[in-house]
Amino acid sequence: TIKQADFDTIKLPLHLTPDMLASVIAEFVSKAAKGKLNTKESDTLAPALVGYAKSTETYRSWRRVSGATERLHMVINIYAGSELLRPFIARAPETVLTTQELLVFSSQ
């Protein structure tokens, strides 16, 4: 979870392409799942996620149709063994979504 104020403050890194950000995210999430993410990588993960999110057509489309107070729930599926990411937005007013709700949104 990234706070709204932090999300708004983090800018899209112009020197990194969306593919580069996807690669960083896939690598760091894999390391985190194994408990091998170091402090520097951990500090880099949130800005990479925000930069990637803001670079997607999914996010730009959501911005065009979302209300000013609509909560952003962006989920990024990472396919095992690859650097392929699939972002989607779960449009729900709740602060926290259940696993079942995420599965339903993910299958749409």
- Give the pLDDT confidence of 58-91 residue by residue, as tens digits: 999 999 999 888 888 998 888 877 778 889 899 8
Q: With contact defined as beta carbons under 8 Å apart, do 2 and 46 qualify?
A: yes
The per-residue pLDDT of the chain, averaged, comes to: 89
Computed over its alpha carbons, how large is the radius of gyration of the chain? Answer: 14
Q: Specify the pLDDT at position 27.
A: 92
- Residue 73 near residue 12, CB atoms below 8 Å: no
Q: What percent of the chain has pLDDT over 70?
A: 100
pTM for this one?
A: 0.83
Please name the residue ranges forming H helices in the chain: 4-9, 18-33, 39-55, 57-65, 99-107
In this prediction, residues 12-21 reach a mean pLDDT of 87
Confidence of residue 26 (pLDDT cuts 50, 70, 90): very high
